[in-house]
Structure 1
Amino acid sequence: MRLLVLFLALALPALAAAHSWIVCTDYLENNGWYWDDAKCRGWPRAATKFNIRFGAFGTQNNYRWRLDNHPEEKALCRTNRNDDKWYDADTPIAAYYLGQKVVLPHPANNHVSESKCRSRGQIDWENLMFVVDGDEDPCCINSTKLIQIMDMGVSPYGWDHPDEVLSTYPKPGFQNVPRFCEDPEDAMGTYNFTVPMDMAPGRHIFVWKWIRDPAVSPFTTCWEADVFATKAERDHHYLHTGRSTEDAWDFYQIHNIVDGMIMDPVDPSVNEIITG
């Protein structure tokens, strides 16, 4: 009985908080350890309304959006599209170029199978990226206007995996949260997806879909981004709007990490960009 009570005490808070959303729509560090809003160049819809930028990372629970069991009865997006209303100078629309790797941070909200500090049974079921065919929000998650552009994989979970697998980063899918054990509720995870080379330049609606468990309805986040044919065109746009033109770097490629500790930078020039 004591073991059952202990299990419930550990598991129930995690289940209650197992939700998430995309915080930034163009982040400069892939597989990073800690959130830094200075590395964010684009924001999801209504980021100002829900205090996504200036609030503490992971605490904007009213921004989460979980569809119901009948998606046609609930809007696909947390807010209806209104570019003039939902974006401003503090939370601008992202800009991408064809072939760009785009990094998307999200809060863990307890949902990671991490052998060092959490149950192994936190499921990760589906992590997909869509672009919308057209300028209006689709009716629902099953709409034919949602075009899948990437499957971002799923994270390992369960008792069949050794500790080394569950505690080794980066990971595919939602549970790519390297500093999870330091703050299971609000630690940062990151995804990445690639902008298709055949996408038409212009402004598009993007939709993230996460199913944490097949028994739970999908979570979504929606945003707009201006897509340019080349990096040079995108860079011109970002310079004109006062934003960095750097390509995203990978945390694990620029640091020498031993047993979860940063020993020294691998690429001093990139490290200088980050810290300078």
Structure 2
Amino acid sequence: MKVQITLFISLLFFGGVLSHSWIACTDYLQENGDYWSSSLCRAYARHGHQFTPKDNFGIDTGYDYNGLSENKPCKTVRDDNSAYNSEYPMAVYYAGQKVVIAHPTKNHVAETCTNKYIPDSGNEVFISQVNPSKDPKLSEFRSRLVADLGVSPFGHSRTQAEITTYPKPGYQNAPKFCENMDKALATAAFYLPADLAEGRYTFMWEWGFNHNNDDYTSCWEADVVSSKSERDRKLSSQGLPVREPEVLHGKSLAKAPPSISGGPGTQAPVTQPPVTRPPPSRTTTSFPIPTGGSSGSTMQCLDTCFKQCYSCN
């Protein structure tokens, strides 16, 4: 029992340290895609040229960020001149466009090659007011929700079929995860509001891993234009493809967004409360011990971390 408790405590902290991810591409040309290809990425997150090398998808460079605070919601300070270049351009969207974003899985998917207890506690995309001079405060971002990307299925009550069927909502939409658990491609899709005013915006993706005290963010800028033809003209001038994203594995999970403006040329706040997540679960629950323990044994554990760290019998 002493060995079991020591193992539990060690992995409890180990699991918390390793949770991380970030947005690598802010305009990807495959929804529910199988494999990363830099040729399918038209735009990158802020300072992507420093942190997210296009030919080494998912490599750890310290770009993951879960130290967010009210006055620092993003990893790096906004500086549009240094954050993007011709190889890692800023996104250009049109009002009403479907946008696909991409991130590496970093081992955080409930699947047959891991276990069904790896959690996902929420994924959202938020937007600033038009033409901001600096990053909004965290609470301001959270009051302007563009897309709720859902929560991936996980946990004791989920069947094997549920966790292995794609596309999935939420963070874990990675059909080829088991081929490369650390660096597999995951994607999510959402629509921009059709009444979004033209101008430059800052977007923030937020992912809750274990609970609402374990959030990760990535930020990026995008120029929003009024029509697809104007977007295509700007992309063509950069030598970028103008086609819309293809959908793999059956269907798109992108949902219609809320109205975000008060009409052409205006920019009223979103009429919804700020996004909040439930408080972290700290209930003590009995679960089977990890594979390799004595048959039929159980141990008491904090369910929010135990279920993401172990393959339980």
Q: Aligning the two structures, in what range does the TM-score lie when normalised by the shorter sequence?
A: 0.7 to 0.9
Which residue of structure 2 aligns with residue 41 of structure 1? 42
Structure 1 vs Structure 2 CA RMSD = 2.3
Q: Which runs of 5+ in 1 are unaligned?
A: 255-276
Secondary structure, counterpart of 2:140 in structure 1: coil
- How far apart are 1:141 and its partner, in Å? 2.0
| Among candidates 175, 179, 182, match of residue 176 of structure 2 | 179
Structure 1 window deviating more from structure 2 (96-105 vs 12-21): it is: 12-21
2: CA distance, partners of 1:169 / 1:137: 38
Any conservation in 2 of the 1:67–1:217 contact (CA below 8 Å)?
no
Q: Is it true that 1:192 corresponds to 2:189 in the alignment? A: yes
Structure 1 window deviating more from structure 2 (143-152 vs 9-18): it is: 9-18
1: CA distance, partners of 2:6 / 2:184: 26
- How far apart are 1:171 and its partner, in Å? 0.2
1: CA distance, partners of 2:9 / 2:181: 17
Any conservation in 1 of the 2:128–2:136 contact (CA below 8 Å)?
no
Secondary structure, counterpart of 2:187 in structure 1: strand
Q: Is it true that 1:56 corresponds to 2:56 in the alignment? A: yes
Aligned length: 249
Residues 1:62 and 1:42: Cα distance change in structure 2 (over 3 Å): same
| Among candidates 146, 149, 152, match of residue 155 of structure 1 | 152
Which residue of structure 1 aligns with residue 128 of structure 2? 132
Q: Is it true that 1:119 corresponds to 2:115 in the alignment? A: yes
Amino acid at match of 1:161: R
Any conservation in 2 of the 1:107–1:189 contact (CA below 8 Å)?
yes
- How far apart are 1:247 and its partner, in Å? 0.2
Q: Is it true that 1:229 corresponds to 2:206 in the alignment? A: no
Amino acid at match of 1:226: D
Residues 1:249 and 1:161: Cα distance change in structure 2 (over 3 Å): same
Secondary structure, counterpart of 1:49 in structure 2: helix
Any conservation in 1 of the 2:43–2:90 contact (CA below 8 Å)?
yes
Which residue of structure 1 aligns with residue 208 of structure 2? 211
Secondary structure, counterpart of 2:249 in structure 1: helix
Amino acid at match of 2:43: G
TM-score normalised by length of structure 1 = 0.83
1: CA distance, partners of 2:45 / 2:146: 18
Residues 1:146 and 1:133: Cα distance change in structure 2 (over 3 Å): farther
Q: Is it true that 1:25 corresponds to 2:26 in the alignment? A: yes
Amino acid at match of 1:91: Y
Residues 1:78 and 1:144: Cα distance change in structure 2 (over 3 Å): closer
Identical positions, percent: 36
Give runs of aligned pairs for residues 232-251 of structure 1, distance below 5 A: 232-251=229-248
2: CA distance, partners of 1:193 / 1:61: 27
1: CA distance, partners of 2:53 / 2:161: 34
Any conservation in 1 of the 2:99–2:192 contact (CA below 8 Å)?
yes
1: CA distance, partners of 2:183 / 2:8: 22
Q: Is it true that 1:164 corresponds to 2:165 in the alignment? A: no
2: CA distance, partners of 1:161 / 1:253: 21
Secondary structure, counterpart of 1:62 in structure 2: coil
Secondary structure, counterpart of 1:149 in structure 2: strand
Any conservation in 2 of the 1:37–1:53 contact (CA below 8 Å)?
no
Deviations 1:76-122 (A, max 9, x none): 111111111111110011111111111111011111111x1112211
2: CA distance, partners of 1:165 / 1:197: 33
1: CA distance, partners of 2:57 / 2:210: 24
